[in-house]
């Protein structure tokens, strides 16, 4: 009887270990195939996707993190967006926001143009080009958000031939006003760009952080948002950040 119980216990242990071993083999297969098909790209993680039968592959390239999907045997590779229709959630976008998060505390805030309105309790960092149409539209939304501190990292990549305008903003006696005049009101700065500026350092920083579009926003949690948000959604996101920080 005791021998039978030991045998049953051993069989249960084997069955318990089988799924883990199977998952490990699946992950190895997916890593090998996807890495080869994507030209040796760095595979950071492989995990089951929310959709049954689908696997999520985290890929890192010079442009930052990406996500592709595949089946358990890596016969098919899907590059696209996974959307949860029931919960009205963009699963891929949510994952990418977490994967591309940074340590907010490492940002060189002293190299940013600081704009404060009201109490300044809401905090936002932004890489922006004053000649980026999307940035100009977002400035109009930002103007509607009160009690906010915005750290603007000037990132003149859209019209690099006009980067001296960003340098002139830095050299202005009132940098916040000069930035808003340029990016929001489309008024070029009157100060000359004849001072030491951090622009070159910010271009290097942006590339290192994978900032490949403007505006790129960073919340205090380090979460990255590409593109602007409507004023109400931005205020709600920043309020949520503040609540999380308190907790």
How many structural domains does the chain have? Answer: 2
Task: Based on the fold, state whether residues 56 and 42 are members of the same structural domain.
Answer: yes
Asked if the structure places residue 37 within a domain, the reply is yes
Nearest to residue 117, comparing CAs of 221, 238, 199?
Answer: 238
Residue 97's pLDDT is: 82
| Rounded CA separation 196/47 (Å) | 47
Whether 6 maps to a domain, the answer reads no
Over range 181-210, report the average pLDDT.
95
Domain boundary among the residues 76, 99, 122 is at: 99
Alpha-carbon gap, residue 91 to 94, rounded angstroms: 5
Does residue 142 share a domain with residue 237?
yes
The reply to whether 179 falls in a domain is: yes
Domain end point (choices 45, 66, 99): 99
Boundaries of domain holding 213: 104-246
What are residue 154's DSSP bridge partners?
Answer: 128
SS (H, E, C) 4-16: HHHHHHHHHHHHH
> Rounded CA gap, 168 and 178, in Å?
8
Check residue 247 and give its pLDDT: 54
Q: Pick from 55, 70, 1, 57: which is nearest to 23 by CA?
A: 55
**179 and 233 assigned to the same domain:** yes
**Do residue 174 and residue 83 come from a single domain?**
no
The yes-or-no verdict on residue 60 having pLDDT over 70 is: yes
**Runs of H (alpha helix) within 185-230:** 199-208
Question: In terms of domains, do 118 and 238 share one?
Answer: yes
How many residues are present in the chain? 247
Instruction: Read off the tokens for 244.
Output: 């999380």
61-114 per-position pLDDT tens digit: 777 788 999 999 999 999 999 999 999 999 998 888 888 889 999 999 999 999
What CATH number did the domain enclosing 110 receive? 3.40.30.10
């Amino acid at each position: 009887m005791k021998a039978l119980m030991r045998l049953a216990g051993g069989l249960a242990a084997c069955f318990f270990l089988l799924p883990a071993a199977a998952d490990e083999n699946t992950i190895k297969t997916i890593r090998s195939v996807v890495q080869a098909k994507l030209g040796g790209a760095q595979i950071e993680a492989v995990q089951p996707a929310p959709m049954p039968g689908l696997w999520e592959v985290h890929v890192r390239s010079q442009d930052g993190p990406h996500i592709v999907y595949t089946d358990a045997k890596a016969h098919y590779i899907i590059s696209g967006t996974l959307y949860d229709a029931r919960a009205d959630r963009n699963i891929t976008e949510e994952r990418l926001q977490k994967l591309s998060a940074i340590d907010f505390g490492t940002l060189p805030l002293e190299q940013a143009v600081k704009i404060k309105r009201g109490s300044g309790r809401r905090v936002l960092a932004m890489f922006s080009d004053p000649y980026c149409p999307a940035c100009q539209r977002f400035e109009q939304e930002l103007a509607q958000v009160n009690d906010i501190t915005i750290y603007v990292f000037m990132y003149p990549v859209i019209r690099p031939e006009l980067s001296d305008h960003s340098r002139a903003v830095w050299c202005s006696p009132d940098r916040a006003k000069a930035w808003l005049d340029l990016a929001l009101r489309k008024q070029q700065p009157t100060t000359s760009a004849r001072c030491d500026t951090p622009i070159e350092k910010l271009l290097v920083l942006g590339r290192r952080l994978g900032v490949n579009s403007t505006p790129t926003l960073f919340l205090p949690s380090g979460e990255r948002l590409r593109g602007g948000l409507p004023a109400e959604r931005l205020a709600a996101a920043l309020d949520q950040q503040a609540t999380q920080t308190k907790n």
